[in-house]
């Protein structure tokens, strides 16, 4: 049975950073304000973020960079490689700023968060949202848009409308009258959680916009489209079925990359996968978990029919749950040595740390006495130094001593990591 909550008991705000990656670059380079800017994906392949100026030029999202080189050059568009260390740190700062205004914050993505307010406090949450926008901008330099609604689905719709209001950047869908006015103009495919395929199914039964879906028979919707779609109907009616999801530990962590250039030797491949393993282990320890297995995989480029093809992947199970980077790298090297085959041009590789258990749960072993004390102390010391002085200050030699290996992703337009690397801060005299 569906659980629904009255719209009189809670109010959701969806806070979305405007053109987030571009905004991060502008924080540390104010000369970019008002100028066209794009940010590229890994390997400088596709356009993954555009300033409003670029959007007006008609350059689409996810467009291949090489297809638009001439336009980008002729229009004097500034180009940046993805700077994920910078973007991740700036995201943390935005989310910390939001927690000042409410303890109930769900980080939905790197640039989005839901906040739950209490309408019974009788605050003017439109004005309160303007205060949030002002303060987040002042504290982080990142502009945000905010949508308000009695459910997360309505807050999501409100946010899309807030982005169109360049002056106020806040839209309130908490009132019934406003919901009826707005929902008729929202196509079903634009509703959060409805794909193009599900949109087509809805249109087959005469439902083409959000208002029609809101007014649809829940029994009919559930019968033909399932309980998930039924929840969306209730959400559109202002009855909350989706509560805040507090971020919990992940069960698996995967890190995989496409190489900047094809890799044709074991040494470079090993160094690349070792670096991915190190990063995954750091993320795992951050959530206080231990892995029980690692999956290592390699791939050639399936789109290159003129190249010989090879792909393989193997799982290595640990005798005991482990979070020690050195031990896990040795396991990775053993697996990689078994699946690597000479004579191929490898295009991609990666690892998955699997089957996590909490690091405070110690499983008994009949044949081996396990002590985590020394390992945990060593990992804690390494993580502490890297957190203080920047990632990679202390690293494992397996990842290679060169920082410019051919396997590294192309980042020809990378900006400095202003907030995480001291040596990349500009020198001002």
Strands (E), 111-241: 112-117, 144-149, 170-172
Which of residues 246 and 302 earns the better pLDDT score?
302
Question: For residue 276, is it within any domain?
Answer: yes
The answer to whether the CB of 110 falls within 8 A of the CB of 95 is: no
**Domain count within the chain:** 1
Q: What is the pLDDT of residue 3?
A: 43
Phi-psi region of 323 (alpha: psi -120 to 50; beta: other; left: phi over 0): alpha
Question: For residue 344, is it within any domain?
Answer: yes
Question: For residue 99, is it within any domain?
Answer: no
Domain containing residue 308: CATH number? 3.30.1490.100
Distance CA 145, CA 132 (A): 10
Q: What is the pLDDT of residue 55?
A: 94
Domain encompassing residue 381? 253-399
Pairing of strands 47-50, 105-109: unpaired
Is the per-residue pLDDT at 298 higher than 50? yes
Angle at 384 between CA 364 and CA 326, to 5 degrees: 50
The answer to whether the CB of 179 falls within 8 A of the CB of 37 is: no
Question: For residue 151, is it within any domain?
Answer: no
Distance CA 227, CA 239 (A): 15
Question: For residue 231, is it within any domain?
Answer: no
Determine whether 121 is exposed, middle or buried from the number of CB atoms within 10 Å of its CB (0-12, 13-18, 19+).
exposed
Predicted confidence (pLDDT) per residue in 165-182, tens digit: 888 999 999 999 999 999
Question: For residue 349, is it within any domain?
Answer: yes
Distance CA 259, CA 410 (A): 8
The answer to whether the CB of 125 falls within 8 A of the CB of 11 is: yes
Predicted confidence (pLDDT) per residue in 175-226, tens digit: 999 999 999 999 999 999 898 889 999 999 899 999 999 999 999 899 888 9
The answer to whether the CB of 280 falls within 8 A of the CB of 351 is: yes
Predicted confidence (pLDDT) per residue in 307-364, tens digit: 899 999 998 888 888 999 999 999 999 999 999 999 999 998 999 998 888 887 655 4
Strands (E), 51-143: 78-81, 105-109, 112-117
Question: For residue 172, is it within any domain?
Answer: no
Helix 218-225 × helix 196-204 angle, to 10° = 120
Q: Which long-range contacts (CB under 8 A, 24 or more apart) does 287-290 make?
A: 287/249, 287/250, 287/356, 288/249, 288/358, 288/359, 288/360, 289/249, 289/250, 289/323, 289/356, 289/357, 289/358, 289/359, 290/321, 290/322, 290/323, 290/356, 290/357, 290/358, 290/359
Is the per-residue pLDDT at 39 higher than 50? yes
Distance CA 170, CA 291 (A): 43
Question: For residue 294, is it within any domain?
Answer: yes
Distance CA 153, CA 101 (A): 21
């Amino acid at each position: 049975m569906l659980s629904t909550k009255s719209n009189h008991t809670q109010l959701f705000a969806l806070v979305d950073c405007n053109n987030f990656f571009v905004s991060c670059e502008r924080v540390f380079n104010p000369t970019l304000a008002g100028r066209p800017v794009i940010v590229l994906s890994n390997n400088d392949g596709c356009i993954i973020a555009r300033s409003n100026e670029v959007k007006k030029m008609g350059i689409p999202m996810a467009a291949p960079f090489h297809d638009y080189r001439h336009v980008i050059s002729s229009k004097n568009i500034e180009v940046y490689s993805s700077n994920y260390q910078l973007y991740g740190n700036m995201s943390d700062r935005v989310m910390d700023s939001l927690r000042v205004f409410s303890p109930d914050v769900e980080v939905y993505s790197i640039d989005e968060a839901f906040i739950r307010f209490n309408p019974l406090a009788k605050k003017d949450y439109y004005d309160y949202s303007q205060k949030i926008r002002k303060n987040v901008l002042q504290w982080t330099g990142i502009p945000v848009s905010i949508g308000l609604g009695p459910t997360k689905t309505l807050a999501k719709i409100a946010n899309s409308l807030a982005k169109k209001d360049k002056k106020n950047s806040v839209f309130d869908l908490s009132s019934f009258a406003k919901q009826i006015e707005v929902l008729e103009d929202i196509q079903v495919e634009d509703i959060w959680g409805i794909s193009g395929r599900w949109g087509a199914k809805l249109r087959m039964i005469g439902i083409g916009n959000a208002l029609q879906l809101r007014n649809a028979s829940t029994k009919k919707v559930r019968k033909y489209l399932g309980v998930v779609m039924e929840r969306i109907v209730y959400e559109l009616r202002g009855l909350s079925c989706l509560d805040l999801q507090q971020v919990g530990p992940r069960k698996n962590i995967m890190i995989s990359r496409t190489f900047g250039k094809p890799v044709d030797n074991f040494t470079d491949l090993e160094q690349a996968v070792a670096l991915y393993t190190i990063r995954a282990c750091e993320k795992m320890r951050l959530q206080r978990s231990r892995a029980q297995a690692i999956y290592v995989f390699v791939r050639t480029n399936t789109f290159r029919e003129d190249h010989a093809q090879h792909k393989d992947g193997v799982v290595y199970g640990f005798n005991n749950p482990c979070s020690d980077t050195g031990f896990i790298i040795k396991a990775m090297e053993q697996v990689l040595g078994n699946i690597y085959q000479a004579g191929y041009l490898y295009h991609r590789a990666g690892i998955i740390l699997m089957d996590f258990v909490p690091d405070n749960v110690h499983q008994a072993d009949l044949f081996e006495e396990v002590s985590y004390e020394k390992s945990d102390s060593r990992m804690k010391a390494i993580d502490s130094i890297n957190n203080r002085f920047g990632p990679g200050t202390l690293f494992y030699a397996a990842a290679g001593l060169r920082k410019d290996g051919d396997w590294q992703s192309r980042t020809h337009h990378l900006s400095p990591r202003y907030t995480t690397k001291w040596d990349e801060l500009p020198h001002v005299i």
